[in-house]
Amino acid sequence: MTGLQLTVPGDLSAAVFLIAAVMILPGSSLMLRNAGLNPTRAKVLDFLISMGASIQVPILQSRQGELVGDVSVRHAALLGGTISGAQVAETIDELPMLAALGPYTERGIEIHDAKELRVKESDRIAALAEGLRQMGATVEEFPDGMRVEGRSKGRLHGAKVDPQGDHRIAMALAVVALGAEGKTTIRDAECVGVSFPEFFTALDRLRDAGKM
């Protein structure tokens, strides 16, 4: 047996919450170093770019058979869009955050063919829809997805929200709260530690940098 020295790339499905924060915070920017960009996991970037996100990959290389690169993100106005069919499987972990961006887009976000979201750590469709509604968003649920209306429905407001113990719903609602008026309280927010223990620290740093 021969030992190897390996570099583990950053998890793009976790980083998408910080990328989304940049989309919400005017004037903000972010550079992700050594992110895993395997084509089967990086489709979320393609969807964000299709909505108008300013995302570039200035460095891309192969390491141990996997694509790894730096991802540059700058704030930009988002148009909105629809995710369905094969796109769902390619972005399943990122769907809650993508849907939650709806109120910050021109046309809103619509998701279909995503019944799997009903049986994740929580019913992610129901939990996200309820949290967004508490904050003033206009949301329509479908058996296999949801529609979150765009910015024409008005600005979100702070609220007490319950992510149902689901780390991805908690992080999505925390990001959405960055652009809402007033304070948002997330019940059992420590559930984010399941996948991103330093999430709130990273989010605070990004928010504070955007104020400079």
Spatial contact of 45 and 15, defined as CB atoms under 8 Å apart:
no
Helix 12-24 / helix 199-211 crossing angle, nearest 10 deg: 30
Kindly report the length of the chain.
212
| Residue labelled with tokens 């395997």 | 38
Note every long-range contact of 19-22, with CB atoms under 8 Å and residues 24 or more positions apart, other chains counting.
Answer: 19/48, 19/53, 19/55, 19/71, 19/73, 20/97, 20/98, 20/100, 20/101, 20/172, 20/175, 21/175, 21/178, 21/203, 21/206, 21/207, 22/73, 22/74, 22/75, 22/206
Sequence-distant (≥ 6) Cβ neighbours of residue 174 within 8 angstroms: 17, 184, 186, 189, 192, 199, 200, 203
**Annotated catalytic, 93?**
yes
Of 11, 93, 123, 144, the catalytic one is 93
* Residues known to be catalytic: 93
